[in-house]
Structure 1
């Protein structure tokens, strides 16, 4: 089952089950994915069970909602500061080569870059036995809920950015229960948009390069993630595809287990604050930047996987310069 959040014609938020590629079935008595999750937790039910109970008799034209720009991310929070967006890198088999090329070791005699060392650590210790904790992955912070672009909307890139390129990834979505327990409610396809030129200048700029907008959805996949996921990432310019490549994800294609990535994120107390929402990107091995493509203002990113239903498509929009003034009192 997959869920979609959207605004109705009056501007009110709704959540619906995806019946097919043309039809949505709104849920009754609940208006957000987070609210549905809260009710399911209180009743000791799964999201799928609770969604089935809440399904109404009316339908909505999915294409019309998308055409009118009324789709929302698959998870939202009324206070964006309580929606944390984070991720991990070097988690996929094959993800190290492109990264290593961006971060050549300063020591010419070194056998490995730091990226390759981190990747090897993941391959050797990223999938521990049940009940054990493996090696921790690379981790990064992207921002709060204010940086999540709606499906179909522009992805802003700041005027000072040196690049703005896609990263086709799967993001897991979590709510934190009243007792501080992280609860995974589903998965979404996403674009973990980043500044790869800035990152390439120096590996210590990785944190800066990730402080960018991103996009997810529009559909939230409920239940478990298959061990093998396939998809396609495309870049459009003036309506024409200028780059296209297949990508794979799921644990069969990863050097870390999802459980290990989750442990090393939620082991920190500050990420287990009751009522918060988290979206955690799991990484990728496929980038147009790694193939020598330079994006331009107005380019469109499209990321799709049959598992996640409707593709997510967003346009790159370079923002005007915004002077920053720091005052002292």
Structure 2
């Protein structure tokens, strides 16, 4: 398994850590400055060098995993400025009638801007959807993390996992025009940054609870082997656009998801808890869905 890195806030200060700890276990936090980890990735040297940049000579504090004063952060999220959350659509093989042909000219999948990095929610934080939501769909996805150097060259940092919640019901009313609206639901992400190549295979289970009881369960798979397109082709095409190569920009790139609860006839309701157990990688992402109050007319 890859080295795992995370960042958090504790008693008003920013820290980083290595690995994951079960609830109740001790967790060592290393004091870091904003941007220190991004600089470590840009300096190169691989996971060992990044881990050394975090731990060597750092002030430490030991906490208990699950301490309510520890607030986890999206990977490499800047305090000043922001990051960009975007995603590919229709990427999985199950959504194509033919098999991928490596000799065929690359045709990029659909893509959209989901929002700013500061919009990303952490595990156990509620996910807001519009009051006008038609039908929600959870989407367990691999999220690739990139940071651009001072010349604007994107540097791959690692990967994590996300739930790209969206209003598929609204999308289906007008697939050619209303998809961006349907994506205006909050996205959750795990804070655990895996310092390795994008995963080939990711497996796990989705559980949706209503009133404290499981209302729907289903298995999922994602990762590079589940995709119709090559990850390298998709990412190279995305970063061929100059606006994606702004110096210092952090990008969270969602690789898309397969079918899930909506396609099985289930409908997510206000107050349901969606839990994505990424069993292959030992992480869990769980959030309660909240339908937001409709904004008053200006």
Match of 1:145 in 2: 117
Displacement of 1:239 after TM fit? 1.6
- Residues in 2 aligned to 1:128 and 1:139: alpha-carbon distance in whole angstroms: 23
Q: How does 1:74-85 map to 2 (within 5 A)?
A: 74-79=75-80, 82-85=82-85
Match of 1:136 in 2: 108
- Residues in 1 aligned to 2:263 and 2:70: alpha-carbon distance in whole angstroms: 31
Displacement of 1:58 after TM fit? 4.7
- Residues in 2 aligned to 1:306 and 1:219: alpha-carbon distance in whole angstroms: 14
Match of 1:5 among 4, 7, 21: 7
Displacement of 1:53 after TM fit? 4.7
The answer (yes or no) to whether the contact 2:220–2:260 under 8 Å persists in 1 is no
Q: What is the count of residue pairs matched by the alignment? A: 290
Match of 1:192 in 2: 164
Q: 1:194 to 1:225 in 2, by over 3 A?
A: same
- Residues in 1 aligned to 2:75 and 2:213: alpha-carbon distance in whole angstroms: 28
Displacement of 1:78 after TM fit? 1.8
Q: How does 1:229-308 map to 2 (within 5 A)?
A: 229-308=202-281
- Residues in 2 aligned to 1:156 and 1:2: alpha-carbon distance in whole angstroms: 28
Displacement of 1:259 after TM fit? 0.4
The answer (yes or no) to whether the contact 1:141–1:211 under 8 Å persists in 2 is no
- Residues in 1 aligned to 2:243 and 2:201: alpha-carbon distance in whole angstroms: 32
**Unpaired runs of at least 5, structure 1:** 97-118
Structure showing the higher helix proportion among its residues: 1
Q: 1:176 to 1:298 in 2, by over 3 A?
A: same
Match of 1:89 in 2: 89
What SS does the corresponding residue of 1:255 show, helix, strand or coil? Answer: coil
Q: How does 1:1-329 map to 2 (within 5 A)?
A: 1-8=3-10, 10-21=11-22, 22-28=25-31, 30-31=32-33, 34-42=35-43, 44-55=44-55, 58-65=61-68, 70-79=71-80, 82-94=82-94, 96=95, 119=96, 123-124=99-100, 134-204=106-176, 205-325=178-298
Q: 1:23 to 1:222 in 2, by over 3 A?
A: farther
Q: 1:226 to 1:31 in 2, by over 3 A?
A: same
Structure showing the higher strand proportion among its residues: 2
Cα deviation, 1:66-89, whole Å, max 9, x if unaligned, reads xx5722223312246x31111111
Q: 1:193 to 1:243 in 2, by over 3 A?
A: same
Q: 1:31 to 1:15 in 2, by over 3 A?
A: farther
CA RMSD of aligned residues (A): 2.3
Displacement of 1:319 after TM fit? 1.0
What SS does the corresponding residue of 2:45 show, helix, strand or coil? Answer: coil
**Unpaired runs of at least 5, structure 2:** none
- Residues in 2 aligned to 1:324 and 1:45: alpha-carbon distance in whole angstroms: 53
- TM superposition score normalised by structure 1: 0.81
- TM superposition score normalised by structure 2: 0.88
Q: 1:169 to 1:183 in 2, by over 3 A?
A: same
